[in-house]
Amino acid sequence: MPSALGLISAHKVPRLSASDHVAQTLKKAIVDGLLPAGELLRQDEIAAHFHVSKIPVREALKHLEAKGLVTFLRNRGAVVASLSAAEIDEYMEIRALLEARAAQLAVPLIGPSAIEQARSHLDEFGVATDAARWGELNWLFHSTLYAAAARPILLAEIRALYNKVERYVRALLSVTTEMPKTRNEHAEILDAFVRRDPDAAAELTRAHVLDAGASLVRYLNDHRSKGGNK
């Protein structure tokens, strides 16, 4: 744990509470893979690293537990959560349903500026070279399209599901040949928005997420069979 914490910046962002700052920093470290699954999160070491008391650390860890990123184990304390292949498969299935609905609702309402913004994210996704940026641009592309639906609760639920699996998606994109297929599927979804075809946008989005889920489960099962720990 000390060596892993040493990779994490403790510089505080203005206007964030101590617990929010710790939560956001630890979340990024988990998603980026600096804190791997099963890593023990010792509250006293975290508090010392961030120069805060253990109270905001405890609050931050409970916040991350609610997001599915941290698990509290009896007699051990908090550890970085690990998802099973079955859990990831179910999360992606739920995402497919929610994102298809968001796309269907958004198509009739989306404006030209949002279309161009999504296209810009798609173009940048195609030339980005690191997994962290891929994950960010993937979310920006989809959320820019879905935002037109004006369903903030729906978008928040989709974002919560992204948080749970994002570290696995980044790993998948960084070590496999999924990138060209992902870019092509994004382009097809965007084209359905441009054509104002809500049913096509919904079906393409649903298929895109389900296919990503299937690829993710295959990757994870293969990775773990070879002794990986994620």
d(CA 122, CA 184): 10
Tokens standing for residue 229: 């720990």
Pairwise pLDDT comparison (230 vs 220), residue with the higher score? 220
Residue 147 confidence class, pLDDT cut points 50, 70, 90: very high
Residue 9 confidence class, pLDDT cut points 50, 70, 90: low
pLDDT of residue 225: 67
pLDDT of residue 13: 45
206 shares its domain with 93: yes
Pairwise pLDDT comparison (167 vs 49), residue with the higher score? 49
Please say if the pLDDT value at position 229 is more than 60: no
197 shares its domain with 139: yes
Identify whether 11 is part of a domain: yes
12 shares its domain with 56: yes
Please say if the pLDDT value at position 40 is more than 50: yes
DSSP H or E run through 72: strand 70-73
116 shares its domain with 193: yes
Place of tokens 């269907």: 104
The domain that holds 9 is classified in CATH as: 1.10.10.10
65 shares its domain with 92: no
Pairwise pLDDT comparison (151 vs 225), residue with the higher score? 151
Please say if the pLDDT value at position 179 is more than 90: no
The domain that holds 214 is classified in CATH as: 1.20.120.530
Could you give the residue ranges of the DSSP H alpha helices within the chain? 2-5, 18-31, 43-50, 54-66, 85-106, 112-127, 131-146, 152-175, 178-194, 198-225
99 shares its domain with 49: no
Please say if the pLDDT value at position 2 is more than 50: no
25 shares its domain with 94: no
Q: Which domain holds residue 108?
A: 85-225
pLDDT of residue 129: 80
97 shares its domain with 191: yes
Instruction: Note the pLDDT tens digit of each residue in 62-75.
Output: 999 988 889 999 88
Mean pLDDT of the 192-206 span: 98
d(CA 170, CA 130): 9
pLDDT of residue 230: 53
193 shares its domain with 90: yes
Please say if the pLDDT value at position 37 is more than 70: yes
60 shares its domain with 118: no
pLDDT of residue 64: 92
Identify whether 230 is part of a domain: no
Tokens standing for residue 205: 């989005």
pLDDT of residue 7: 54
Residue 24 near residue 16 (C-beta atoms within 8 A): yes
Identify whether 21 is part of a domain: yes
- Domain end marker among 80, 97, 121: 80
Tokens standing for residue 33: 């893979």
Q: Could you tell me which of 121, 97, 105 has the C-alpha nearest to residue 190?
A: 121
Please tell me the pTM assigned to this model: 0.79
Residue 36 near residue 80 (C-beta atoms within 8 A): yes
Please say if the pLDDT value at position 82 is more than 60: yes
Sign for the pseudo-dihedral over CA of 133, 138, 141, 142: negative
Identify whether 31 is part of a domain: yes
Which residues have C-beta within 8 Å of that of residue 120, sequence separation ≥ 6? none
pLDDT of residue 1: 45
190 shares its domain with 101: yes
Please say if the pLDDT value at position 199 is more than 80: yes
pLDDT of residue 158: 96
Residue 168 confidence class, pLDDT cut points 50, 70, 90: confident
14 shares its domain with 105: no
Identify whether 155 is part of a domain: yes
* Count of structural domains within the chain: 2
- Domain end marker among 28, 56, 80: 80
- Domain end marker among 80, 114, 146: 80
Mean pLDDT of the 157-181 span: 81
